[in-house]
């Protein structure tokens, strides 16, 4: 691992200091390809006469996104480095996403399939989902109590003010 000062080198793990736009479509729409805080690994360093640029592979959840011409000032180094650490981090992230899908998504999909195979209609499903959502919220409120509800609402309010 190279020192944490100076320009990032090949194999260094970096974090985006700001949202990074790449390509003409991002410039046209105003959207960004890489949000602030995304992690990546430096694949190539291109040294020029007046400045250098990086080729960085950013983690995009299920896939990775390679961005060319990233300025070194747009990213900061993290403590991890190396290809094996990057692969392990990506594999753990994908494993967590698959596990969350198996725990939360698969039972919901199976329930919906059984509902529709049993003769349920979409017109009856939407009110039933709303009713179950309200019932679930009331059950959670009864479990955590009034103080817990105030803490959750206060936390959500503070989070919305921070953005």
This model's pTM is above 0.85: no
**Number of structural domains found in the chain:** 1
Domain residue limits at 59: 12-81
For residue 50, is it within any domain? yes
Whether residue 89 lies inside any domain: the answer is no
What confidence tens digit (pLDDT) does each residue in 116-129 have? 898 888 888 888 88
CA distance 119 to 18: 50
Whether the CA torsion 163, 20, 3, 12 is positive or negative: it is: positive
* Residue 33 scores a pLDDT above 60: yes
With respect to residue 73, please indicate whether it lies within any of the assigned structural domains. yes
Does residue 34 sit within a domain? yes
pLDDT exceeds cutoff 80 at 26? no
- The model's pLDDT over 15-25, given as tens digits with 9 standing for 90+, comes to 999 888 777 77
Q: Which helix (H) or strand (E) holds 54?
A: strand 52-59
């Amino acid at each position: 691992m190279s020192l944490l000062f100076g320009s990032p080198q090949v194999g260094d793990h970096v974090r985006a200091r700001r949202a990074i736009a790449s390509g003409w479509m991002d410039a046209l729409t105003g959207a960004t390809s890489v949000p602030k805080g995304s992690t990546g690994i430096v694949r190539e360093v291109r040294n020029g006469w007046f400045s250098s640029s990086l080729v960085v592979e950013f983690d995009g959840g299920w896939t990775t996104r390679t961005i060319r011409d990233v300025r070194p000032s747009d990213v900061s180094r993290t403590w991890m480095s190396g290809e094996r650490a990057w692969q392990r981090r990506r594999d753990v992230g994908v494993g967590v996403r698959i596990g969350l899908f198996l725990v939360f998504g698969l039972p919901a999909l199976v329930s919906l399939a059984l509902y529709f195979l049993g003769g349920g209609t979409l017109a009856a499903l939407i009110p039933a989902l709303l009713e179950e959502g309200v019932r679930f919220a009331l059950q959670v409120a009864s479990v955590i109590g009034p103080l817990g509800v105030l803490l959750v609402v206060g936390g959500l309010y503070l989070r919305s003010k921070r953005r």
